[in-house]
Amino acid sequence: MFGRKKKLKKEFDERLRTLMMDTKEEWEQARDVERYLNDYDQEVMVRRKIAESKHFYLFKEAKARRLGSD
Protein backbone atom coordinates (compact mmCIF):
# COMPACT_ATOMS: atom_id res chain seq x y z
CA MET A 1 0.00 0.00 0.00
CA PHE A 2 2.75 2.45 0.90
CA GLY A 3 4.73 1.57 -2.20
CA ARG A 4 1.78 2.56 -4.34
CA LYS A 5 1.50 5.95 -2.61
CA LYS A 6 5.18 6.63 -3.21
CA LYS A 7 4.83 5.61 -6.85
CA LEU A 8 1.82 7.92 -7.31
CA LYS A 9 3.59 10.80 -5.57
CA LYS A 10 6.64 10.34 -7.76
CA GLU A 11 4.47 10.22 -10.89
CA PHE A 12 2.55 13.37 -10.00
CA ASP A 13 5.71 15.18 -8.92
CA GLU A 14 7.20 14.44 -12.33
CA ARG A 15 4.05 15.75 -14.02
CA LEU A 16 4.32 18.91 -11.93
CA ARG A 17 7.97 19.39 -12.93
CA THR A 18 7.07 18.99 -16.60
CA LEU A 19 4.15 21.38 -16.32
CA MET A 20 6.34 23.94 -14.54
CA MET A 21 8.91 23.80 -17.34
CA ASP A 22 6.16 24.20 -19.95
CA THR A 23 4.56 27.17 -18.21
CA LYS A 24 7.95 28.83 -17.69
CA GLU A 25 8.64 28.55 -21.40
CA GLU A 26 5.18 29.92 -22.21
CA TRP A 27 5.75 32.84 -19.82
CA GLU A 28 9.16 33.63 -21.31
CA GLN A 29 7.73 33.59 -24.83
CA ALA A 30 4.91 35.93 -23.80
CA ARG A 31 7.47 38.23 -22.19
CA ASP A 32 9.54 38.28 -25.37
CA VAL A 33 6.50 39.06 -27.52
CA GLU A 34 5.54 41.92 -25.20
CA ARG A 35 9.11 43.24 -25.19
CA TYR A 36 9.38 43.31 -28.99
CA LEU A 37 5.98 44.83 -29.56
CA ASN A 38 6.27 48.47 -30.64
CA ASP A 39 2.79 49.49 -29.57
CA TYR A 40 0.98 48.95 -26.28
CA ASP A 41 -1.32 45.94 -26.66
CA GLN A 42 -3.47 45.03 -23.70
CA GLU A 43 -4.20 41.50 -24.94
CA VAL A 44 -0.48 40.66 -25.10
CA MET A 45 0.04 42.06 -21.62
CA VAL A 46 -2.88 40.02 -20.26
CA ARG A 47 -1.54 36.82 -21.83
CA ARG A 48 1.85 37.43 -20.24
CA LYS A 49 0.29 38.01 -16.84
CA ILE A 50 -1.81 34.84 -17.13
CA ALA A 51 1.25 32.79 -18.08
CA GLU A 52 3.20 34.32 -15.19
CA SER A 53 0.39 33.57 -12.74
CA LYS A 54 0.18 29.94 -13.86
CA HIS A 55 3.91 29.46 -13.46
CA PHE A 56 4.07 30.98 -9.97
CA TYR A 57 1.01 29.03 -8.83
CA LEU A 58 2.74 25.81 -9.84
CA PHE A 59 5.95 27.01 -8.19
CA LYS A 60 4.10 27.52 -4.90
CA GLU A 61 2.55 24.06 -5.23
CA ALA A 62 5.97 22.52 -5.81
CA LYS A 63 7.32 24.31 -2.76
CA ALA A 64 4.41 23.05 -0.64
CA ARG A 65 5.08 19.50 -1.86
CA ARG A 66 8.80 19.93 -1.15
CA LEU A 67 9.49 18.90 -4.71
CA GLY A 68 13.12 19.95 -4.72
CA SER A 69 14.09 18.00 -1.60
CA ASP A 70 13.38 14.48 -2.93
Is 28 contained in some domain?
yes
Is 43 contained in some domain?
yes
Q: Percent of the chain having pLDDT more than 70? A: 93
Is 5 contained in some domain?
no
Is 7 contained in some domain?
no
CA distances from 49 to 7, 57, 61 (A): 34, 12, 18
pLDDT at 49 (0 to 100)? 96
In the chain, how many domains are there? 1
Instruction: State yes or no: pLDDT of 37 exceeds 90.
Output: no
Is 57 contained in some domain?
yes
Q: How far apart are CA 14 and CA 41, in angstroms?
A: 36
Using an 8 Å Cβ cutoff, are 16 and 60 in contact?
A: no
Is residue 47 helix, strand or coil? Answer: helix
The domain containing residue 60 runs over which residues? 17-69
Is 65 contained in some domain?
yes
Is 27 contained in some domain?
yes
pLDDT at 2 (0 to 100)? 65
